[in-house]
């Protein structure tokens, strides 16, 4: 058995809305594999009531080393959040990151407000 399958490696995410102090439900997320200027769509999901996707974006044991992009469509989520401007300051947030160790699990969350965001590599 390969190392990725043994360790349970995969890719997951969640979205936290720190302006409202809760998980962000209903955020559409796209996952692409990127190589130079070429992007290949791998998955799409929407966050649930816990701000997570119902399944990993890349199943455990199938993660490969390489460059990925997570695209979070946050503009619609904050559409009714006063005093957000029209159009919203943040509409689409794209995180490009590199998986160096395909045998490790990568958890890449988005922590956001209508005006800012941050991310980190979680566990």
Confidence at residue 8, expressed as pLDDT on a 0 to 100 scale: 59
Whether residue 9 contacts residue 102, with contact meaning beta carbons closer than 8 Å, is answered with yes
Report the predicted TM-score, pTM, of the whole model to 2 decimal places.
0.89
**For the domain 3-119, what is the CATH code?**
2.60.40.180
Segment 62-78 mean pLDDT? 95
- Of 19, 15, 1, nearest to 89 by C-alpha is 19
Q: Is the pLDDT of residue 49 over 90?
A: yes
pLDDT digits (tens, 9 = 90+) for 10-37: 999 999 999 999 999 999 999 999 998 8
Segment 94-118 mean pLDDT? 95
Distance CA 21, CA 18 (A): 5
Distance from the first to the final alpha carbon of the chain: 23
Distance CA 14, CA 52 (A): 4
Band (1; pLDDT cuts 50, 70, 90): very low
């Amino acid at each position: 058995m390969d190392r990725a399958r043994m360790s349970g490696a995969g890719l997951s995410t969640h979205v936290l809305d720190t302006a409202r102090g809760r998980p962000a439900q209903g955020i559409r997320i796209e996952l692409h594999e990127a190589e130079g200027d070429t992007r290949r769509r791998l998955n799409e999901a929407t966050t649930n009531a816990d701000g997570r996707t119902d399944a990993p974006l890349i199943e455990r044991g199938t993660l490969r080393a390489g460059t990925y992009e997570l695209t979070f469509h946050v503009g619609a989520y904050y559409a009714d959040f006063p005093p957000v401007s029209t159009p919203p300051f943040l509409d689409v947030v794209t995180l490009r990151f590199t998986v160096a160790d395909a045998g490790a699990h990568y958890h890449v969350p988005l922590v956001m407000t209508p005006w800012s965001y941050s991310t980190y590599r979680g566990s």
